[in-house]
Amino acid sequence: MKPMFLREVEENPHPSPHTNLIRVMQDSGAEYPQIWHLFAFRPDATEHLGKFTQEIMRGAASLTPGMRELIAAFTSYHNDCPF
Amino acid sequence: MAYIHLNENLPGIRALFDFRPETAEPLCRLADVLLHQPNSLSRAERELIATYVSSLNDCRYCQTAHGAIAAYQLDGNESIVAQVKRDYTAAPISDKLKSLLIIAGKVQRGGKQVTAEDVENARRFGATDMEIHDTVLIAAAFCMYNRYVDGLGTWAPEDIETYKPRAAVVAEGGYNRIPSDIRNQQATAAR
């Protein structure tokens, strides 16, 4: 995988679920999405992003989770963000 | 008039927080970490980044509200805020902040606009990886907040004076108190 712009972000994960995920993937030599490094670097900020995402994507609402994922995928496609 | 039925007494994002408290909570906590909690970038610098991005997105509520908070953090100096919005390269701010505003401006146009050279440039002016990281996250988060506010057609007062009392409260107390303030208002209104 290409290195990220910020080495410190990549090299200084804090204890978090994403840090464990990264280790598992690195140990097995598999590729993984580098957004995990962002979540592992600054968990005090990104935990709120995670909670926001959980609420808006899976919280009780009349739009089904599948519809909500389609909206997210459609928007990410138009933002040219493959992940 | 907003596009959906909101509490029309509340402007901008406050009406949306009132409408959907479940998503308001993490959005406010994120804003507090990014803009209010201790950081090597000052509160004024971080509010200026948020204000600048909001002005690029032409979001009146966010640029005026956060511009007022930035001015409060700058001992009331509104001219720096106006200069950053008009032409930050000529504003009396550090070269480091200018290099971070270049990155923030590019994030506003699209994440892929940011180049390794922009990041190197910010490092040359002394920006740390944490500061560059937070700049990108502030800029990206405000693109979300701005689109959230304008995508639902919320209203925003035109007179900057009306923003100042709240700006002082948020500048002093941070963003984490907003969800509980809203809950208290809703409880009072329900009685």
Tens of pLDDT, residue by residue over B41-91, are: 999 999 999 999 999 999 999 999 999 999 999 999 999 999 999 999 999
Listed residue (B3, B6, B22) closest to B14, CA to CA: B6
- pLDDT for the residue A70: 97
Can you read off the two tokens belonging to residue B42? 């000052």
pLDDT given for residue B1 in this prediction: 82
- pLDDT reported for residue B151: 98
Q: How confident is the model at residue B182 (pLDDT cuts 50, 70, 90)?
A: confident
Burial class from Cβ neighbours inside 10 Å (0-12, 13-18, 19+) for residue B132 reads: buried
B176 has pLDDT over 90: yes
Average pLDDT score, chain B = 97
Residue reference for tokens 């993984």: A32
Residue with the two structure tokens 């909570």: B25
Average pLDDT of the residues in A62-79: 96
Among A9-18, A45-54, B118-127, B161-170, the minimum mean pLDDT is found in A9-18
d(CA B129, CA B142): 20
What is the structure's pLDDT at A63?
A: 96
Q: How far apart are CA B158 and CA B147, in angstroms?
A: 19
Could you give the ipTM of this predicted complex?
0.93
Interface membership of A5 toward B (CB under 8 Å): yes
Calculate what percentage of chain A has a pLDDT beyond 70: 100
Six-digit token pair at A78? 């138009």
Contacts of A79 in chain B (CB under 8 A): 110-111
Query: Please, which pLDDT band fits residue B183 given cuts at 50, 70 and 90?
Result: confident
User: Do the chains contact at B29 and A48, CB–CB below 8 Å?
Assistant: yes
Q: What are phi and psi of B78, to 5 degrees?
A: -80, -20
CA distances in angstroms from B121 to B98, B104, B112, listed in the order given: 10, 13, 17
pLDDT at B39: 97
Enumerate chain B positions whose Cβ falls within 8 A of a Cβ in A: 22-23, 25-27, 29-30, 33-34, 37, 110-112, 114, 116, 119, 128-130, 132-134, 137
**Nearest CB to A49; choose among B30, B112, B119:** B30
**Sign of the alpha-carbon dihedral angle for B184, A45, B58, B46:** positive
CA B5 from centre of chain: 24
The pLDDT of A37-66, averaged and rounded, is 95
Higher pLDDT, B77 or A12: B77
* The pLDDT value given to residue B191: 83
pLDDT at A83 over 90: no
DSSP state of B74: T
According to the model, what pLDDT value does residue A30 have? 92
How far apart, in Å, are the Cα atoms of B165 and each of B18, B19, B47, B54?
19, 23, 16, 20
pLDDT at B117 over 90: yes
